[in-house]
Amino acid sequence: MSVELRRQYLEAMGIEVWMRRETAVPNTMPREPQPTGDVATLDWSDLAAHVAGCTLCDLHTTRTQTVFGVGNRTTDWLVVGEAPGADEDQQGEPFVGRAGQLLNAMLFAIGLKREQVYIANILKCRPPENRDPRPEEVACCEPYLFRQIELIQPKIILAVGRIAAQNLLKTDTAIGKLRGKLHHYGPQHTPVVVTYHPAYLLRSPSEKRKAWEDLQFACEVLRDAH
């Protein structure tokens, strides 16, 4: 990737200079998720089929289709968002539309193409009117995401947005306080870095610099893990 192309993407994010994050501070997750039932042994194809036919919560009555996830299944990077929106519900792929374009630009700014990472959501179905996921809905979907993480074995998880961060980390701490710290997920203690959701950044472009700092921090964490 040329320096000029990277500069253009940084400018699109509203970033003019390179920033470094302070040293990470570890955080311990209060409860480790566990796979349940047959989901814990499913391979990719069976897991996708299981999700496509899921009727565990009421969201299956209003969805167009499930949104399983997309990308490189052997990647170091797992990006986890909140839930499908209207575009995602129609296309069956996470992070499409304007928010997806900004996410692509954010990834490109750190030298990654969309197809080089894996992208998934806390929920596999769209909540009506894009409301926040309910606890019982998250509980139904959690084994699916947990199994995806088991299969991918990422070296880092980028939690995108408040809902994703709070549900992954089992906390109600504000996203501003979760940023800039190193968290961990699951029995493998997979590193987790928290940043803002692209949809939020589109509404609040002044926060893009903070998101850039988060991405730089995530890169540092991954370098340290190697």
Give CA–CA dist 124/185, Å, rounded. 19
Give CA–CA dist 40/172, Å, rounded. 27
pLDDT digits (tens, 9 = 90+) for 128-147: 999 999 999 999 999 999 99
pLDDT digits (tens, 9 = 90+) for 119-130: 999 999 999 999
Contacts of 145 by beta carbon, 8 Å cutoff, 6+ apart: 80, 120, 121, 122
Q: What are phi and psi of 174, to 5 degrees?
A: -65, 150
What superfamily does domain 3-8+21-225 belong to in CATH?
A: Uracil-DNA glycosylase-like domain (3.40.470.10)
pLDDT digits (tens, 9 = 90+) for 55-111: 999 999 999 999 999 999 999 999 999 999 999 999 999 999 899 999 999 999 999
Domain extent listing, the chain:
3-8+21-225
